Structure 1
Amino acid sequence: MRFLTTRRNSAVFISLAGMAAALLWSSPPVGAEPSPGSSHVKEAGDESAELMEALESYGEPRLSPNGTVQPGAYGAAWQHIKGMPVRSASYKEVTTQPFNSDALHFRDRSAANSGGGAGHSSGRVAAMAVDPGHPGVVYVGGADGGVFRSSDDGKTWTPIADHLPALSVGSLAVMPDGSLWLGTGEATTAYENYVGSGVYRLADPSRGTFTEADQVGGDELQSSSIHELRLDAEAGYVFAVTSRGVFRRPLNAGQTSAWQKVLAPCAGVGITGISCGTTEFYADIAGDLVVQPGSGGRSLVANVAWRSGASYNGFYYSNDAGLTWKLANPTGAINPKEIGNATFAYAGDGSKLYVVMESPALLNKGASTALAGVYVSPNGDIAGPYHQIATSSVLANSGSAMKRTEIGPGYQPGVQAWYDQSLGVDPSNPDHLYLGLEEVYETWDGGATWQTVGRYWNFGMSCFSYTPAQNTCDGNVMHSDQHALAFSDWSGRAPEVYVGNDGGAYARPIAQKTPGWRNLNASGTLRTLQYYSVGAGSLPSGGDAVWGGLQDNGVAMASPTGSTYTYTYPGTTTPVTENLNPNGEMTEPFGGDGGDQLVNPKNGCQTVGEYTDLTLQMTNNCGYTANDDGTPSAIVNIAPSDPTPRFIAPFAADSADTGYWVAGGEYVWANTKTWASTSGADWQKLYDTGAGRSITAIASQKRVAWAAWCGSCDAGSSFGRGIATDYGGDWHQLSLPGDFPNRYIQGLTIDPSDPTGATVYVTLSGFSRHWNEGPGAGYGHIWRTTDGGKTWTDVSGSDTAADSFPDAPANRLFVARDGSLTVASDLGVFVDDVKADGLGHWKRLGPADITSSANLPTSAAVYLSPSPDGGTLYIATHGRGIWSTPTP
């Protein structure tokens, strides 16, 4: 869900899932956000701007310094990993309980979204497909979580793609022969975010599991994002709608037959005469393609557009099954110059063509909506004339929680129309249409009237009350940010509509006109949560409280069923024993987006969670409120006031001094009150890294601190990075050697065996100069100093050795008690047994069989944190939850 008091809102955090491609990230300004019912109002465009900031926060590290990475980087790293030596280990999934974002007693009014109505949640769903040949079988694709199958119509789910080279999903399609086609590389932003490793075909998806051997085609779609896989059955083709244009291959072609690029205006493929200017970073981004029913498979319509506007933006059509294309000139209500990201939907009989369209002009000026409108061509012709059937204001007045009087003027329906888009027509009724933006809308009369049937939340609505018994809101609420739509039509069952969004999957009968949805996340088996961090602390009743920040799902706490905690509320003298987990569920004490996390290892109910941008919030009792209505407050804001923090800004406890914390934005901050903190005033400014700089990693040991920064942080010619420290007494910038990679510094780890704080490991993101274009990219991902930064050594290993660290983004490094090093990367976890092998000899940590169920899924591993007793290492993945393994 979203923001609450004084916090800023974001919809998504974007990963590259360990892969790289040529992209460009923009950096619009951001502003403050209010809580529902507060006296503050949002600035126009804040939500959209913060979403873009979220995209950058994961893209920039992997693309720095030059903003482009050649295709092939991901594949080369994966092949190297398969040939590495192995240190035997197995993994256990930790976050297996259902995740209840509406749990009672976790409804702090200043920091929680509990009570908003979304109910049980999972991570972002980017694609859905229904198996027409197997009643009850549904497939879901996670943004970086792979493919899940349900055989009981969404009651329970099973992962079926955990060990493909990429778990990023862009599209799913069931073909006439019953096979399931998977397009990797999520493309919800009409841009490459999680890029993929191509297309896969699973012959028997109702029972089988995807393997690398299921890949269709060659490497032509590697390192791209596949927005849609579309079948043209009558003409006999499958189309891949990608971030590099539209590709085609015969449906009956051999498995290894290459995909043929058939539409890429800037490249002059399929059409000539389109002037693209200097758009190489975001050229030929295809958003959608549909085949007109009744045309014998000959008539196709495609949207090719960059969200912020480009000369190639437009609707393209083909009358020869995609071999040649023309630029359409839509008439009527659509302005051809306003075309941005768009989604099409034909009526089942081809009589009508519906379009939802983003406006780059509105996006670029930071308007309260980026929605150009929803349109229909009543004769099904791509040229129109089009009639406008919905605007942002029409949708806002259809029962929306985003009406100005409910949420404020700055965030209106379609503010993220370049990101949130789905559209579907009832197969049996050409006037019955579902539209997904931030919310879900429905019309039964071709757009003459609309109803909001999937509200953003209940906050601010006249039906809402913090007192549960007085809350009269209906069930027309689901998690926000809609990305996927699918329909079922099984014999003997009522047809249903399925929707996927940033909080998982929901369904309801197509004929339903009463409020309510079936929550398909309730079992907890659709486990696609996207963590940014993990931390753990022991509970007095036994076991650990495991915490972590999540993409658009706040801060989650997992604890053993029946865990209790005794706490004396401020102003009282009688201790109260709280049942933290009576129902065997994970909870969401903090709402919005979660970020970095700090947990007291001796007390798992003491934690500091980050909303975003160094907005730090602390609880001393697990965020538990004594009353169901969210009172008294259990969470306090202790954020320092920093001008330029990263979207996910770093903070940490001193590894040897329990009375010292550090945090980083532009400034290095210290806090000596720690768990007794009451406000942001408890932080002291230690050092200014410099105007325009932002700290990317921070660490402290015995109050010797290190801070890495970027500035400018944009992946491009102005990118800069550095390291500052107070080792030796005074704060100073290090003079890094010429061979130290000019890439984003993702992590700093002070070696605990060196009490002086002079020995430090640096983990670097991105790819080496093998793949990163331009000078200065450098080799290696793990560097070490033993003299306070005077000299540095690359300890990644020999570049050509089988036991070198893979050339893939490295995220976090952990030093075990025996001195061995463990690193979480976008492509798994790796260990260097320093005592046995010396520095620079790395092993893959896991079972010998990389496809074993005992192995970590191939979702980006972004964070490492030890258990309180040190015997277990927790691993946060950005798409498959939290896992654990015995500490190496």
Structure 2
Amino acid sequence: MRTATRLRLLPIGAACAALAMVLAGPQAAADNAGATQPHNRPHAVKSSTTASTGHIRSSAVGGPPGNPDGGVDDPTAADNEYFAARSAPGIVAPGAYGAAWQQIQSMPHYGPTWKSVTTAAYNSDDPLYRDYDSNSSGGAGNVTGRMTGMAADNAGHIYAGGANGGVWRSSTGGGQWTPISEALPAASTGDLELDASGRLWYATGEANTASDTFTGSGVYVLSHPVHGTFSTHDRVGGTELQSTSIRKIRFIGGTVYAATTRGLYSHPLSDLHGAWKLEFAPNPTYLPGGSQATDPAAPYKNIVNDVTADPTDPSKLIAAIGWRSGDTYNGFYTKSGGTWTRITTSLGDLPTAAANVGAVTFARSVDGSKFYAINQDPTKISSAQSTLGGVYVSNGTPFGPWSLIADSPKLEASGSAETGATYNPGVQAWYNQFLQVDPTDPNHVYMGLEEVYESHDAGATWNTVGPYWNFTYPCWSIDPTKQTGTCSPTTHSDQHAVAIGSMGGKAYVVVGNDGGVYKRPVAGVLDSGGHAADWQSLNDGTIDTLQYYSVGVGADPSGKGVAVSGGLQDNGQSILRSGPAVMGSNFGGDGGDTLVDPANGCNIAQEYTNENMWVTNDCGQNVSTDPSTSTEYNVPPNDGVNGTARFTAPFTADIKNPNTWVAGGQHVAVQTKGFAIRATSDWTDVYDLGTGHLSSAVASSGGKIYAAWCGGGCNSVGFSRGIAVGNADGTGWHQLTLPTDGTSLPNRYLSSIAIDPSDANHVYVAVSGFSRKWTEGPGADFGHIFESHDGGTTWKDISANLPDVPADSIQILPHGGIALATDLGVFYEGAHSSCWSILGNGLPTNATLQLQLGPDGNLYAATHGRGIWKIRVPSGGQNQQ
């Protein structure tokens, strides 16, 4: 791995060169001292055999009528969407994001303050958007982005940690949320826990190994969480837990343990200033600095999922260790005499063979009389039915014997909405897990997989108190006057975190999932179907952790303001119009790329996944109970039908001929009907990028098309990239000759293309990943934005003083200048400047995946964890120096 400590500087203007030299100092210091690391993507997300975090529309797979989603997505495409784009063509060294964040702290700002757009509640059951292919009437109600950490006290304070949205506090028993971690460089949550003294522990770095997870910057402790906010001074220990993910924080005796993707760490609770101690890593040579650290398998070799101890002797630890897809080191380990060994003797029903131990979660009762565990079985990971090994209980000790108390068939029989038609409970058990024992009753336990389950008799019987949705139940109705029909409201699917708290002596359980935060009384009631009748969504709009992939803006047909749409992780597509006080959901499942008619915001094209596109001409307002009269049209190109496109595949409209659309999969496809498109047959494949080549970005102006692509699986092994250029009528297509050694355009993932409206030969390309300073791979080279004046024959690096961080989206501004969205914010270069500034003020530190101009003179930013934001378009003047 390269160890250069200074940015490579280009021959730029003197002022910008001076600024870049100044910025190189903090980065060099970060290299040597280990600066705090924000938002590092985990390496432990890549898998070719596991499901992604979204759900398939039934109309695309022939599922049960009335189900807008159901089943699992293609995992490889989803993982490549994030992991590969940011690591190709090699392995990224720890500290890359931290060095970029450190540099950004010294950069100037240009422009006004960003304003949050998505401050209204997002009602996934909004009756304005009733449709068989939306989320409406499923019962989840108000939603926000994925929650991966929950904590609660007995005075009405609830703390929620977003997957990439930071920590939020409610002092009212839920709702009226306030962000309390804005000053930290990491917004990704691994775990939230309150210790015995009431301190709030924030473990950064989501460890759910999903397709869009971020690593973190360590562990922080807030001594007075009721009123305080986190700062960088609250970090525990040194830099030991930077650039890793933390699945669990556990307090055992006088020690806190962190189960991370790089081993098990410990720290004394009495003094938080010393370094974290590496307790155990089963394969230490694969850790950073080890002899095998650059091995492609290194990120998967030291994953610790959880740890617990014998209640009578805290020194007797048992750790659940292993990669979800299976490895020879997977299993349960115990510490004896200072040495860790794997348990090979019987633990009862709980398996000990490496092949059968995957992601594991422990829970113990307050009195120590009961231990519970969930185990995901790697041998089932390729099954479309369930990956759940089982749920187990042990009396008084985690060393067993453990008894099986639930498996997938038993949970299905407990009232699950997972009918078995396409999958069964635990289909994503590697991703969805939580366990919580009632502090007052060791036999009362809550368990989360895709759904929420409850047992009052230590697992002998279960109820599905939080079913996946209401669509499969007889009480379901999409009649807009009945909201969710006669069904009880439920939680969003995909459970990750849980806590029990109380207010005014009334105890409640709060759960965090892909739709945010939900609450019900611990002494709750069930309806006639055995489901909870008392769930309450706490996603009131004051908490915005929505994870957008895209944003589109058009004039509202009402004549007032604009309609703002965006595709979301597992929350379909949102639409916010100028009149309603809430956002609605007009498309279901996972939302991908988005195209909105600037002149009419009710003309919307939305990608589900893998180029499976849908169109509406009335904002998706369909109140019919007859699917044949739907006003949403499924119009995928051929690659969207065949699945030969990336998880979030690019599509766009020609900037001069808006009825000409271009979509990119293995083929470049064109249609010329605009929003009047009605069928796949309206698309024409005009160019084949080649077998194994999938488009990563497309742009079109006046019929001239640029299509960037990646190959070799779009990952680090055999990675390749290129740009094809041609015309919408199918003529003139050719591949640009790009160097493979990175001498002009790096051999990294090409994430965005923008064409100058006045000259189709003047084009910009954004480059993801990190420079060869951090990436060990052929042709990684330097730079994140490149410019060509000759149609891509030659390229110039105009990155100048940009931080070395993945670039995601380019927007050419109408009055001159360029906006560039990255994993750490949005940057601006003026029309007469060669120097970059931070665009505006107030945008949360977050990955901004797409920029779009609105017809109202605002630039809109889709962040993946903090919703949609807008800023007045800069005038195009010189950057501030």
- Between the aligned partners of 1:427 and 1:269, the Cα distance in structure 2 is 40
Q: Contact 1:191/1:285 (CA < 8 Å) preserved in 2? A: no
Secondary structure at the counterpart of residue 113 of structure 2 = coil
1:242 corresponds to? 260
Secondary structure at the counterpart of residue 58 of structure 1 = helix
- Between the aligned partners of 2:672 and 2:286, the Cα distance in structure 1 is 62
Of the structure 1 ranges 714-723 and 606-615, higher mean CA displacement relative to structure 2 is found in 714-723
1:458 corresponds to? 470
Q: Deviations over 1:160-216 (max 9, x none)?
A: 112421111111122233321211111113899311111112222211222222222
1:558 corresponds to? 576
1:221 corresponds to? 241
Q: Quick check: 1:418 aligned with 2:435?
A: no
Q: Quick check: 1:83 aligned with 2:98?
A: no
Q: Deviations over 1:356-388 (max 9, x none)?
A: 10000010x324100011111234242x22211
2:173 corresponds to? 153
- Between the aligned partners of 1:312 and 1:192, the Cα distance in structure 2 is 26
- Between the aligned partners of 1:863 and 1:367, the Cα distance in structure 2 is 32
* Equivalent pairs, count: 810
Q: Quick check: 1:746 aligned with 2:751?
A: yes
1:59 corresponds to? 83
2:563 corresponds to? 545
- Between the aligned partners of 1:586 and 1:313, the Cα distance in structure 2 is 44
1:401 corresponds to? 417
Change (3 A) 1:421 1:239: same
**2:136 aligns with one of 91, 95, 114:** 114
Residue 61 (structure 1) shift: 0.7
**2:487 aligns with one of 474, 478, 486:** 474
Identical counterparts, % of pairs: 45
Residue 269 (structure 1) shift: 12
Which ranges of structure 2 fall in alignment gaps of 5 or more residues? Answer: 1-36, 527-531, 875-881
Q: Deviations over 1:592-616 (max 9, x none)?
A: 0000000000101111011111011
Q: Deviations over 1:554-588 (max 9, x none)?
A: 00001123xxxxxxxxxxxxxxxxxxx2xx10000
Change (3 A) 1:141 1:807: same
Q: Contact 1:23/1:192 (CA < 8 Å) preserved in 2? A: no
Q: TM-score, normalised by structure 2?
A: 0.88
Secondary structure at the counterpart of residue 712 of structure 2 = coil
1:635 corresponds to? 632
Secondary structure at the counterpart of residue 74 of structure 2 = helix
2:46 corresponds to? 25
**2:126 aligns with one of 93, 96, 103:** 103
The residue type paired with residue 263 of structure 2 is: G
The residue type paired with residue 181 of structure 2 is: A
- Between the aligned partners of 1:170 and 1:22, the Cα distance in structure 2 is 15
Q: Contact 2:635/2:678 (CA < 8 Å) preserved in 1? A: yes
- Write out aligned runs for 1:635-674 (5 A): 635-642=632-639, 643=642, 644-674=644-674
Q: Contact 2:491/2:535 (CA < 8 Å) preserved in 1? A: no
Secondary structure at the counterpart of residue 57 of structure 1 = helix
- Between the aligned partners of 2:683 and 2:72, the Cα distance in structure 1 is 30
**1:209 aligns with one of 206, 229, 233:** 229
Change (3 A) 1:673 1:268: closer
1:607 corresponds to? 604
- Between the aligned partners of 2:96 and 2:720, the Cα distance in structure 1 is 23
Q: Deviations over 1:15-66 (max 9, x none)?
A: x975245446223499995639996479xx9945535532331211111112
The residue type paired with residue 877 of structure 1 is: T
Change (3 A) 1:411 1:60: same
The residue type paired with residue 550 of structure 2 is: S
1:123 corresponds to? 145
Residue 299 (structure 1) shift: 3.0
Residue 418 (structure 1) shift: 0.5
Change (3 A) 1:29 1:696: farther
The residue type paired with residue 655 of structure 1 is: I
Change (3 A) 1:607 1:469: closer
- Between the aligned partners of 2:95 and 2:56, the Cα distance in structure 1 is 41
- Between the aligned partners of 2:773 and 2:517, the Cα distance in structure 1 is 40
Residue 509 (structure 1) shift: 1.4
Q: Contact 1:20/1:73 (CA < 8 Å) preserved in 2? A: no
Change (3 A) 1:80 1:381: closer
- Between the aligned partners of 2:625 and 2:45, the Cα distance in structure 1 is 46
Q: Contact 1:91/1:883 (CA < 8 Å) preserved in 2? A: yes
- Between the aligned partners of 1:191 and 1:698, the Cα distance in structure 2 is 22
Change (3 A) 1:639 1:533: same
Change (3 A) 1:29 1:282: closer
- Between the aligned partners of 2:596 and 2:329, the Cα distance in structure 1 is 50
Q: Contact 1:545/1:557 (CA < 8 Å) preserved in 2? A: yes
**1:880 aligns with one of 849, 866, 870:** 866
Q: Contact 1:17/1:860 (CA < 8 Å) preserved in 2? A: no
The residue type paired with residue 392 of structure 1 is: S
Q: Deviations over 1:651-689 (max 9, x none)?
A: 001111122111111000111111211111111111000
- Write out aligned runs for 1:717-756 (5 A): 717-726=717-726, 730-737=732-739, 738=741, 739=743, 740-754=745-759
The residue type paired with residue 725 of structure 1 is: V
Q: Quick check: 1:508 aligned with 2:520?
A: yes
Q: TM-score, normalised by structure 1?
A: 0.87
Change (3 A) 1:114 1:812: same
1:625 corresponds to? 622
Secondary structure at the counterpart of residue 79 of structure 2 = helix
Of the structure 1 ranges 447-456 and 722-731, higher mean CA displacement relative to structure 2 is found in 722-731
- Between the aligned partners of 1:199 and 1:488, the Cα distance in structure 2 is 23
Secondary structure at the counterpart of residue 306 of structure 2 = strand
2:764 corresponds to? 761
Q: Quick check: 1:529 aligned with 2:546?
A: yes
The residue type paired with residue 79 of structure 2 is: L
- Between the aligned partners of 1:218 and 1:119, the Cα distance in structure 2 is 42
Q: Which runs of 4+ in 1 moved over 6 A?
A: 29-32, 275-278, 628-631
- Between the aligned partners of 1:157 and 1:192, the Cα distance in structure 2 is 24
Secondary structure at the counterpart of residue 319 of structure 2 = strand
Secondary structure at the counterpart of residue 430 of structure 2 = coil
- Between the aligned partners of 1:99 and 1:113, the Cα distance in structure 2 is 12
Which ranges of structure 1 fall in alignment gaps of 5 or more residues? Answer: 1-15, 562-580, 798-803, 848-854
- Between the aligned partners of 2:546 and 2:425, the Cα distance in structure 1 is 25
